[in-house]
Amino acid sequence: MLQHGADQNLVRDHGGSPMLLASDRGHTEVIKNLLKHKGDPKLCCDHGTTPIILAAQDGHIETVIALIKGKADVNKQKNEEEGKISALLADSKRGHILCVESLVEHGAIIDLCDSEGSTPLLVALQNKRYDTAKYLYEKGGDIYATNIKDESPNQLAKSLNLDIFPDKIT
């Protein structure tokens, strides 16, 4: 269809696009083909959801990598009313460590907060994604950053009796 002039950046009424649909389902070859035909990896729906957010939250590592190579914005967040979720925040909640590593290696801001001030490190701990939390900590995640409820990764780890930040005094 693309070879015959189909619009690779076609957007439906609510902002859905071929790139978003393919990302959500982890269809990496479709993503690569769309990118090859000048598909926009930064095109988002009305809520601000980007292709890389959808691919990351479902652990589609090959799709995440293809989008990164296609110049997707790894730090773009959903709209404020949608919680300001980034790809790293979405993935930290679900704990797909390979996606988290890829995002961080390609410039994802470790402490980019959601609308409540929660960092990916705090979100990982809240969702029992301890390997993700440890990785984010090792990459510089702030264990003392507090959200609007005055919760921090350090406090949560302490209350759960987790020895996840061994070289820090809790």
Q: Which domain holds residue 32?
A: 1-79
Q: Mean pLDDT across the chain, nearest whole number?
A: 88
Residue 38 lies in a domain: yes
Q: Between the CA of residue 84 and those of 55, 75, 156, 157, 160, what are the distances in Å?
A: 17, 10, 22, 24, 27
- At position 80, the amino acid (one-letter code) is E
Task: Identify the band that residue 169 occupies on the pLDDT scale cut at 50, 70 and 90.
Answer: low
Q: Return the DSSP state at 119.
A: -
Would you call 36 helix, strand, or coil by DSSP? helix
Domain count, the chain: 1
**138 lies in some domain:** no
Establish if 158 belongs to a structural domain: no
pLDDT digits (tens, 9 = 90+) for 48-92: 789 999 999 999 999 999 999 999 999 999 876 767 899 999 999
Q: Is the residue at 11 inside a domain?
A: yes
166: in domain: no
Model pTM score: 0.87
Is 107 part of any domain?
no
C-alpha 44/C-alpha 23 separation (Å) is 11
Residue 84 sits at φ, ψ, to 5 deg, of 50, 45
Cα→Cα distances 20→90, 119, 163, Å: 15, 25, 39
pLDDT digits (tens, 9 = 90+) for 4-43: 454 555 555 555 678 888 899 999 999 998 888 888 888 8
Residue 25 domain-assigned? yes
In a domain? residue 74: yes
- CATH code of residue 34: 1.25.40.20
**Euclidean distance between CA atoms 138 and 91, whole angstroms:** 17
* Cα–Cα distance, 26 to 33 (Å, whole number): 13
d(CA 131, CA 7): 41
Looking at the chain, how many residues does it have? 170
